[in-house]
Amino acid sequence: MPKVIRFGVSLEDGLLEKFDRRRKARNYSNRSEAIRDLIREDLVKAEWELGTEVVGVVTIVYDHHKRELVNKLMDIQHDFGKIIISSQHIHLDHNNCLEIIAVSGSPREAERLADSLKSIKGVKHATLSMSTSGRHIQ
Ligand code: NI
């Protein structure tokens, strides 16, 4: 169990009011938990900017009737086999497919995979959700 340290924070009243409004809207019961999450978010951001190992999810939506597109998406995923730890294919409706691709490894490789998939003509939407292995934050 990590040791918990209390510390004081000085900030302008207007800024604190805005923070409290935002914190309540997001259902944080106290300032400490809201501040802890802001710090964690920043640490995850730093992992993606400076780190060597991250975890994330690439989400893509596309029309599976475009056969060339399906082949290209598959080729790219094989090229990035080293960082893809799992993928799930969901048939949304008669035309549209959703793919959820979990990645673990180099942040630059994860971004390259997301960019490669996103730039293919026919991909309707693509996002990269940047998360963490959890090993470097508490
Ligand atoms: Ni499908």
Give, as residue ranges, everything with CB less than 5 Å from ion ligand 1.
Answer: 64, 91, 97
Q: What is the CATH number of the domain that holds 73?
A: 3.30.70.1150
The rounded Å distance from CA 90 to ligand 1 centre is 6
Q: Measured between alpha carbons, how far is 52 from 111 in angstroms, rounded to an integer?
A: 13
Q: How far is CA 106 from CA 49, 103, 126, 130, 135, in A?
A: 11, 9, 19, 12, 15
Report yes or no on 3 lying in a domain. Answer: no
Report yes or no on 1 lying in a domain. Answer: no
Q: Is 64 exposed, middle or buried (0-12, 13-18, 19+ CB in 10 A)?
A: middle
For the whole model, what pTM was predicted? 0.87
121 and 60 share one domain: yes
Residue 136: the pLDDT is 83
The pLDDT tens digits for 56-106 are: 999 999 999 988 999 999 999 999 999 999 999 999 999 999 999 999 999
Q: What is the CATH number of the domain that holds 36?
A: 1.10.1220
The rounded Å distance from CA 75 to ligand 1 centre is 17
Q: Give residue 127's domain range.
A: 54-132
Report yes or no on 7 lying in a domain. Answer: no
93 and 42 share one domain: no
The rounded Å distance from CA 70 to ligand 1 centre is 10
The pLDDT tens digits for 14-67 are: 999 999 999 999 999 999 999 999 999 999 999 999 988 999 999 999 999 988
How many domains, the chain? Answer: 2
The rounded Å distance from CA 60 to ligand 1 centre is 11
The side-by-side arrangement of strands in the sheet containing 54-63 is: 84-91, 96-105, 54-63, 123-131
Helix 107-118 to helix 67-79 angle (10° resolution) is 170
Residue type, 119: S
The rounded Å distance from CA 67 to ligand 1 centre is 12
